A and B are shown apart, each in its own frame.
Chain A
Amino acid sequence: MAVEIQIKEDTVRAYLSGELDHHSAVGIREKIDESVMQSKPQQLILDFAMVTFMDSSGIGLVMGRFRLMQEMGGKVILQNLPAPIRKVMKLAGLDKLAEFL
Protein backbone atom coordinates (compact mmCIF):
# COMPACT_ATOMS: atom_id res chain seq x y z
CA MET A 1 0.00 0.00 0.00
CA ALA A 2 1.34 3.40 -0.92
CA VAL A 3 0.14 6.98 -0.85
CA GLU A 4 1.27 9.90 -2.97
CA ILE A 5 0.39 13.29 -1.59
CA GLN A 6 0.02 16.51 -3.54
CA ILE A 7 -0.56 19.83 -1.82
CA LYS A 8 -1.90 22.71 -3.89
CA GLU A 9 -3.38 25.92 -2.49
CA ASP A 10 -6.09 24.89 0.03
CA THR A 11 -6.30 21.25 -1.06
CA VAL A 12 -4.45 18.10 -0.03
CA ARG A 13 -4.82 15.24 -2.50
CA ALA A 14 -3.88 11.73 -1.37
CA TYR A 15 -3.60 9.13 -4.14
CA LEU A 16 -3.87 5.72 -2.49
CA SER A 17 -2.71 2.53 -4.20
CA GLY A 18 -2.63 -1.17 -3.35
CA GLU A 19 -4.49 -3.05 -0.58
CA LEU A 20 -6.00 -1.05 2.28
CA ASP A 21 -6.40 -3.18 5.42
CA HIS A 22 -5.63 -2.98 9.15
CA HIS A 23 -1.95 -3.71 8.44
CA SER A 24 -1.47 -0.95 5.87
CA ALA A 25 -3.88 1.68 7.25
CA VAL A 26 -1.57 2.88 10.05
CA GLY A 27 1.25 4.11 7.78
CA ILE A 28 -1.19 5.69 5.32
CA ARG A 29 -3.01 7.50 8.14
CA GLU A 30 0.26 8.94 9.50
CA LYS A 31 1.36 10.25 6.10
CA ILE A 32 -1.99 11.90 5.35
CA ASP A 33 -2.29 13.44 8.82
CA GLU A 34 1.23 14.85 8.66
CA SER A 35 0.39 16.72 5.43
CA VAL A 36 -2.99 17.88 6.73
CA MET A 37 -1.55 19.17 10.01
CA GLN A 38 1.22 21.01 8.15
CA SER A 39 -0.85 22.67 5.45
CA LYS A 40 -4.27 22.97 7.19
CA PRO A 41 -6.24 22.61 3.93
CA GLN A 42 -9.91 23.43 3.27
CA GLN A 43 -10.41 20.12 1.58
CA LEU A 44 -8.84 16.68 1.66
CA ILE A 45 -9.34 14.58 -1.46
CA LEU A 46 -8.78 10.83 -1.08
CA ASP A 47 -8.36 9.15 -4.46
CA PHE A 48 -9.10 5.39 -4.55
CA ALA A 49 -8.55 4.75 -8.29
CA MET A 50 -5.54 2.49 -7.65
CA VAL A 51 -6.85 0.73 -4.52
CA THR A 52 -7.22 -2.97 -5.29
CA PHE A 53 -8.75 -4.10 -1.98
CA MET A 54 -10.35 -2.46 1.04
CA ASP A 55 -12.02 -3.77 4.20
CA SER A 56 -13.56 -1.84 7.12
CA SER A 57 -10.11 -0.49 8.01
CA GLY A 58 -10.68 1.86 5.06
CA ILE A 59 -13.94 3.00 6.64
CA GLY A 60 -12.04 3.78 9.86
CA LEU A 61 -9.47 5.71 7.85
CA VAL A 62 -12.12 7.86 6.16
CA MET A 63 -14.08 8.43 9.41
CA GLY A 64 -10.92 9.50 11.23
CA ARG A 65 -9.92 11.92 8.44
CA PHE A 66 -13.48 13.27 8.37
CA ARG A 67 -13.22 14.10 12.09
CA LEU A 68 -9.83 15.72 11.61
CA MET A 69 -11.03 17.91 8.72
CA GLN A 70 -14.22 18.78 10.58
CA GLU A 71 -12.16 20.10 13.51
CA MET A 72 -10.38 22.40 11.07
CA GLY A 73 -13.58 23.48 9.35
CA GLY A 74 -12.73 21.60 6.15
CA LYS A 75 -14.26 18.72 4.23
CA VAL A 76 -13.35 15.30 2.83
CA ILE A 77 -13.99 14.27 -0.77
CA LEU A 78 -13.72 10.63 -1.91
CA GLN A 79 -12.85 10.27 -5.56
CA ASN A 80 -12.62 7.48 -8.15
CA LEU A 81 -14.04 4.71 -5.97
CA PRO A 82 -13.94 1.27 -7.66
CA ALA A 83 -17.34 -0.48 -7.41
CA PRO A 84 -16.49 -2.95 -4.58
CA ILE A 85 -14.99 -0.14 -2.49
CA ARG A 86 -18.00 2.09 -3.09
CA LYS A 87 -20.18 -0.82 -1.88
CA VAL A 88 -18.31 -1.03 1.47
CA MET A 89 -18.25 2.78 1.87
CA LYS A 90 -22.01 3.06 1.29
CA LEU A 91 -22.67 0.18 3.63
CA ALA A 92 -21.02 2.26 6.35
CA GLY A 93 -23.07 5.33 5.42
CA LEU A 94 -19.96 7.29 4.46
CA ASP A 95 -21.86 8.90 1.60
CA LYS A 96 -23.56 10.93 4.36
CA LEU A 97 -20.24 12.13 5.81
CA ALA A 98 -18.09 12.74 2.79
CA GLU A 99 -18.68 13.88 -0.76
CA PHE A 100 -18.32 11.18 -3.48
CA LEU A 101 -16.88 12.25 -6.82
Chain B
Amino acid sequence: MKASNTMRLCFDSRSANESFARTAVAAFLCGLDPTVEELTDVKTAVSEAVTNCIVHGYREKIDKVYITANIYSDNRIVIKIKDKGCGIADVKKAMEPLFTTAPEEERAGLGFAVMESLMDKVKVFSQPGKGTTVTLEKQIVSKGEDYVHNSRS
Protein backbone atom coordinates (compact mmCIF):
# COMPACT_ATOMS: atom_id res chain seq x y z
CA MET B 1 0.00 0.00 0.00
CA LYS B 2 1.28 3.46 -0.91
CA ALA B 3 1.60 5.99 1.92
CA SER B 4 -0.83 8.91 1.75
CA ASN B 5 1.44 11.19 3.79
CA THR B 6 5.09 10.94 4.79
CA MET B 7 7.66 12.82 6.85
CA ARG B 8 11.32 12.59 7.73
CA LEU B 9 13.29 13.94 10.67
CA CYS B 10 16.99 13.95 11.48
CA PHE B 11 18.28 15.43 14.72
CA ASP B 12 21.18 15.29 17.18
CA SER B 13 21.08 12.51 19.76
CA ARG B 14 20.81 14.99 22.62
CA SER B 15 18.40 14.12 25.41
CA ALA B 16 16.82 17.58 25.06
CA ASN B 17 15.56 16.40 21.63
CA GLU B 18 13.45 13.55 23.09
CA SER B 19 10.64 16.02 23.66
CA PHE B 20 11.06 17.53 20.17
CA ALA B 21 10.90 14.08 18.51
CA ARG B 22 7.73 12.82 20.21
CA THR B 23 5.98 16.18 19.80
CA ALA B 24 6.87 16.36 16.08
CA VAL B 25 5.56 12.83 15.43
CA ALA B 26 2.40 13.62 17.43
CA ALA B 27 1.83 16.78 15.35
CA PHE B 28 2.20 14.74 12.12
CA LEU B 29 -0.23 12.13 13.47
CA CYS B 30 -2.86 14.80 14.14
CA GLY B 31 -3.80 14.57 10.45
CA LEU B 32 -5.51 11.27 11.31
CA ASP B 33 -7.61 12.93 14.03
CA PRO B 34 -6.52 10.52 16.79
CA THR B 35 -8.08 10.37 20.24
CA VAL B 36 -6.08 11.91 23.09
CA GLU B 37 -5.27 8.37 24.31
CA GLU B 38 -3.96 7.27 20.89
CA LEU B 39 -1.86 10.41 20.65
CA THR B 40 -0.38 9.82 24.12
CA ASP B 41 0.32 6.15 23.29
CA VAL B 42 2.28 7.11 20.15
CA LYS B 43 4.14 9.92 21.93
CA THR B 44 5.17 7.57 24.73
CA ALA B 45 6.32 4.79 22.36
CA VAL B 46 8.35 7.28 20.25
CA SER B 47 9.91 8.71 23.42
CA GLU B 48 11.01 5.19 24.47
CA ALA B 49 12.55 4.40 21.08
CA VAL B 50 14.36 7.75 20.79
CA THR B 51 15.69 7.44 24.36
CA ASN B 52 17.05 3.99 23.44
CA CYS B 53 18.97 5.51 20.49
CA ILE B 54 20.48 8.18 22.78
CA VAL B 55 21.23 6.07 25.86
CA HIS B 56 22.06 2.70 24.29
CA GLY B 57 22.68 3.18 20.55
CA TYR B 58 25.08 6.09 20.89
CA ARG B 59 25.83 5.73 24.62
CA GLU B 60 25.35 9.46 25.15
CA LYS B 61 27.77 10.44 22.31
CA ILE B 62 26.31 13.02 19.95
CA ASP B 63 25.37 11.59 16.55
CA LYS B 64 22.16 11.55 14.50
CA VAL B 65 18.76 9.98 15.11
CA TYR B 66 16.51 9.45 12.06
CA ILE B 67 12.73 9.20 12.10
CA THR B 68 10.46 8.51 9.15
CA ALA B 69 6.71 8.29 9.54
CA ASN B 70 4.19 7.12 6.96
CA ILE B 71 0.44 7.45 7.14
CA TYR B 72 -1.61 4.98 5.09
CA SER B 73 -5.14 5.41 3.81
CA ASP B 74 -6.45 2.70 6.16
CA ASN B 75 -5.64 5.04 9.09
CA ARG B 76 -2.37 3.35 10.00
CA ILE B 77 0.79 5.11 11.06
CA VAL B 78 4.15 3.40 10.67
CA ILE B 79 7.10 5.10 12.40
CA LYS B 80 10.74 4.09 11.94
CA ILE B 81 13.26 5.28 14.51
CA LYS B 82 16.84 4.62 13.50
CA ASP B 83 20.34 5.09 14.89
CA LYS B 84 23.73 4.23 13.44
CA GLY B 85 25.11 3.32 16.86
CA CYS B 86 26.46 0.18 18.50
CA GLY B 87 23.57 -2.13 17.61
CA ILE B 88 22.12 -4.96 19.71
CA ALA B 89 23.76 -8.40 19.69
CA ASP B 90 20.74 -10.22 21.15
CA VAL B 91 17.50 -8.44 20.22
CA LYS B 92 15.32 -11.07 21.93
CA LYS B 93 17.11 -10.52 25.23
CA ALA B 94 17.03 -6.73 24.86
CA MET B 95 13.25 -6.89 24.49
CA GLU B 96 12.75 -8.89 27.69
CA PRO B 97 11.02 -6.83 30.40
CA LEU B 98 13.42 -5.48 33.06
CA PHE B 99 16.55 -6.23 30.98
CA THR B 100 18.78 -3.17 30.87
CA THR B 101 22.44 -2.47 30.20
CA ALA B 102 22.24 0.88 32.00
CA PRO B 103 21.02 0.18 35.57
CA GLU B 104 23.20 2.97 37.00
CA GLU B 105 20.99 5.44 35.16
CA GLU B 106 17.89 3.98 36.78
CA ARG B 107 16.60 2.73 33.47
CA ALA B 108 13.74 0.39 34.35
CA GLY B 109 14.39 -1.91 31.37
CA LEU B 110 10.78 -1.52 30.31
CA GLY B 111 11.16 0.55 27.14
CA PHE B 112 10.27 -2.27 24.72
CA ALA B 113 7.52 -3.58 27.05
CA VAL B 114 5.94 -0.11 27.04
CA MET B 115 6.26 0.17 23.24
CA GLU B 116 4.68 -3.27 22.75
CA SER B 117 1.81 -2.52 25.06
CA LEU B 118 0.96 0.86 23.49
CA MET B 119 1.45 0.04 19.79
CA ASP B 120 -0.09 -2.68 17.59
CA LYS B 121 3.27 -3.86 16.22
CA VAL B 122 6.89 -3.33 17.26
CA LYS B 123 9.72 -4.63 15.09
CA VAL B 124 13.43 -4.35 15.83
CA PHE B 125 16.17 -4.73 13.24
CA SER B 126 19.71 -4.44 14.53
CA GLN B 127 23.24 -5.15 13.40
CA PRO B 128 26.04 -4.94 15.99
CA GLY B 129 28.36 -2.08 15.08
CA LYS B 130 25.96 -0.69 12.46
CA GLY B 131 22.87 0.42 14.33
CA THR B 132 19.27 -0.30 15.17
CA THR B 133 15.93 0.44 13.56
CA VAL B 134 12.71 0.18 15.56
CA THR B 135 9.46 0.12 13.58
CA LEU B 136 6.28 1.08 15.41
CA GLU B 137 2.84 0.60 13.90
CA LYS B 138 -0.60 1.62 15.11
CA GLN B 139 -4.07 1.68 13.65
CA ILE B 140 -5.81 4.94 14.48
CA VAL B 141 -9.55 4.75 15.01
CA SER B 142 -10.49 8.15 13.68
CA LYS B 143 -12.86 10.02 16.00
CA GLY B 144 -14.75 11.32 12.99
CA GLU B 145 -15.37 7.86 11.53
CA ASP B 146 -16.18 6.49 14.97
CA TYR B 147 -18.81 9.20 15.33
CA VAL B 148 -20.33 8.38 11.94
CA HIS B 149 -20.26 4.67 12.75
CA ASN B 150 -21.91 5.23 16.14
CA SER B 151 -24.58 7.54 14.80
CA ARG B 152 -25.49 4.96 12.11
CA SER B 153 -25.95 2.15 14.63
**Chain B residues within an 8 Å CB radius of A63:** 106, 108
Q: Report whether A22 and B110 are in contact in the complex, using a CB–CB cutoff of 8 Å.
A: no
Pick the contact of A55: B15, B47, B105 (CB < 8 A). Answer: B47
Q: Tell me the bound Cα distance from A84 to B40 in angstroms.
A: 7
Closest residue on chain B to residue A84 by CB atoms? B40
Interface size range on B against A: 20 to 34
Instruction: Give how many A residues have a beta carbon under 8 Å from the other chain's beta carbons.
Output: 20
Mask of A14-49 contacts with B, CB within 8 angstroms, 1/0: 000001011101000100000000000000000000
Cβ–Cβ contact A56 & B19, under 8 A: no
Contact A92 B108, beta carbon cutoff 8 Å:
yes
Contact of A91 with B117 at beta-carbon distance under 8 Å, contacts A23-B19, A55-B48, A57-B51 already known: yes
Does A74 sit at the interface, judged by CB under 8 A? no
> CB distance A61 to B18 under 8 Å?
no
- Expressed in whole angstroms, the Cα–Cα distance for A91 and B19 within the complex equals 22
Q: Which residues in B have their C-beta under 8 angstroms from that of A60?
A: 105-108
B114 located at the interface, meaning its Cβ lies under 8 Å from any Cβ of chain A in the complex = yes
Contact B51 A21 (CB under 8 A): yes
Nearest 8 CB-CB pairings of A with B: A23-B15, A60-B106, A59-B108, A55-B47, A60-B108, A64-B106, A22-B51, A56-B110
